Amino acid sequence: MYDIRQQMLIFCIFYVLLIPMVLPEENIQWSQSDSYWNGFCSTGKRQSPIDLDIGNVHFPPYFACLFSACM
């Protein structure tokens, strides 16, 4: 049985590996949902928006939130 951190880690790995292969860069338009996910991630203390650029894919702040949960 996986604990929640292992599940999050597996999800993050699949997210990084599969999303760039499935979706071309021009079809990814996260900017409209950035503010929503940024508010979703800023639990507890207020954080500045976090954007991750991995290869040619722009990941929204919610991915950074999930990725920080993996650590």
DSSP annotation of 26 = G
28 domain-assigned: no
Q: Which of 22, 2, 15, 24 is nearest to 64 (CA)?
A: 15
Residue type, 38: N
2 assigned to some structural domain: yes
Give per-residue pLDDT as tens, 10-55: 777 777 666 655 555 544 454 445 554 454 444 433 344 444 444 4
> Is 5 part of a structural domain of the chain?
yes
pTM exceeds 0.75: no
Scan for tokens 């604990």, then name that residue. 3
Domain membership flag for residue 42: no
Domains: count for the chain: 1
What residues make up the domain containing 60? Answer: 1-19+50-71
Residue 61 lies in a domain: yes
